[in-house]
């Protein structure tokens, strides 16, 4: 059967499935199970799944009394093209999805996905594959797969982790009053790259780098997709040259030897409002250091930040 629709709502489909399963359970015990298979070729202008709206969607659906199998030929979610397979049974739901985007508008996609003003602009590419399953007895999904995201020539606004890092940098002796303004014109960047793996309920950052016009950033760690928490080690190189550092502290020039300086941080807690604190240089692994050096194409020297007198006094007052 070929079907063309204006819209499909997953919430209504779930209610139909619940009724069908209940009706099947109420059948007389010992009666023969139907072996009818229904195959639908569906085209719909929209498909709504929770808060997400796909425009359009084209899929082949196979229905039997025990299994619903959906082969998505083409779908688009906020300028991200998707294909894949969804399997629905009484035991739970499984899916395999392949997202793909080339040279799309990051600002429009973020606004569409999160129903709010975008926190970044630029053009982005996205490739990957995502596998997940959830069981009725344990609705928490387990993920696997890979994700490769890149963006270029844009600006970042209202990004919580970056804003807190900049706030800490703004009270150091070297960078005071020199950090970008996320509230006003935003933080301009040349390129942004993320390579990550899905493992269980977490998205693990294998490579995370930001090449800004005034600073560079690299990170490693993970994002908990179920609890919406993060645990990241972030290495920040606030200036692209050592000129300002040498002028501020001439004696440090011999130590740097032409290297860029960087400061390590840790971001941990709720995704929307994490706690960001400076780290000791010894807490940074070679992996995230290598990512930042490849991104900025210069050697990096990790240092401990020096805080202004006001910041020192505030810290001393907090000590027991």
Name which of 200, 87, 83, 74 is nearest 145 in CA terms.
200
pLDDT tens digits, 16-54: 777 777 776 666 455 666 677 889 999 999 999 888 899
pLDDT band at 239 (very low <50, low <70, confident <90, very high): low
Question: Does the reported pTM lie above 0.85?
Answer: no
Q: Which of 76-85, 90-99, 111-120 has the highest mean pLDDT?
A: 76-85
pLDDT value of residue 129: 96
State the pLDDT at residue 175.
Answer: 57
CB 120 within 8 A of CB 162: no
The one-character DSSP state at 55 is S
Could you give phi then psi for residue 98, rounded to 5 degrees? -120, 100
C-beta separation of 296 from 214 below 8 A: no
Residue 277 bridge partners (DSSP):
266
- Does residue 283 carry a pLDDT above 90? no
Of 123, 31, 5, 24, nearest in space to 65 by CA? 24
How confident is the model over 106-124, as a mean pLDDT?
Answer: 88
Mean pLDDT, the chain, integer: 80
Task: Supply the pLDDT for residue 158.
Answer: 73
Sign of CA dihedral 82, 204, 170, 252: negative
Output DSSP code: residue 259.
P
Instruction: Spell out the domain ranges in the chain.
Output: 140-312
Q: What is the 3-state secondary structure (H, E, C) of 184-241?
A: CCCEEEEEEEEEEEEEECEEEEEEEEEEECCCEEEEEEEEECCCCEEEEEEEEECCCC
What pLDDT was estimated at residue 138? 67
In terms of Cβ atoms closer than 10 Å to its own Cβ (0-12, 13-18, 19+), residue 37 is exposed
Q: Are 220 and 204 in contact (CB under 8 A)?
A: no
Q: Tell me what pLDDT residue 139 has.
A: 64
């Amino acid at each position: 059967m070929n079907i063309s629709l204006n819209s499909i709502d997953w919430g209504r489909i779930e209610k139909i499935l619940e009724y069908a399963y209940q009706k099947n359970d109420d059948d007389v015990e010992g009666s023969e199970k139907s072996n009818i298979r229904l195959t639908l070729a569906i085209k719909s202008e929209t498909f709504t799944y929770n808060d997400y709206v796909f425009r359009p969607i084209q899929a082949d659906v196979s229905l039997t009394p025990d299994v619903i199998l959906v082969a998505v030929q083409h779908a688009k979610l906020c300028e991200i093209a998707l294909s894949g397979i969804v399997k629905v049974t009484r035991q739970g739901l499984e899916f395999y999805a392949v997202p793909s985007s080339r040279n799309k508008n990051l600002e429009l996609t973020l606004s569409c996905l999160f129903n709010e003003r975008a926190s970044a602009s630029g053009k982005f590419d996205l490739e990957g594959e995502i596998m997940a399953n959830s069981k009725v007895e344990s609705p928490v999904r387990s993920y696997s797969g890979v994700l490769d995201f890149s963006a270029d020539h844009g600006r970042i606004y209202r990004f919580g982790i970056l804003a807190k890092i900049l706030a800490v940098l703004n009270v150091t002796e070297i960078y005071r009053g020199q950090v970008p303004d996320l509230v006003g014109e935003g933080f301009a960047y040349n390129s942004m790259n993320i390579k990550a793996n899905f493992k269980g309920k977490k998205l693990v950052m294998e490579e995370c780098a930001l090449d800004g016009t005034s600073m560079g950033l690299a990170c490693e760690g993970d994002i908990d997709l179920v609890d919406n928490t993060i645990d990241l080690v972030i290495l920040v190189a606030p200036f692209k040259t050592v000129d300002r550092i040498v002028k501020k502290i001439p004696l440090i020039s011999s130590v740097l030897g032409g290297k860029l300086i960087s400061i390590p941080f840790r971001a941990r807690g709720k995704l929307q409002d994490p706690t960001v604190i400076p780290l000791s240089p010894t807490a940074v692994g070679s992996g995230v250091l290598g990512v930042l050096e490849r991104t900025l194409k210069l050697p990096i020297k990790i240092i401990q930040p020096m805080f202004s007198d006001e910041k020192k006094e505030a810290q001393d007052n907090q000590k027991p």
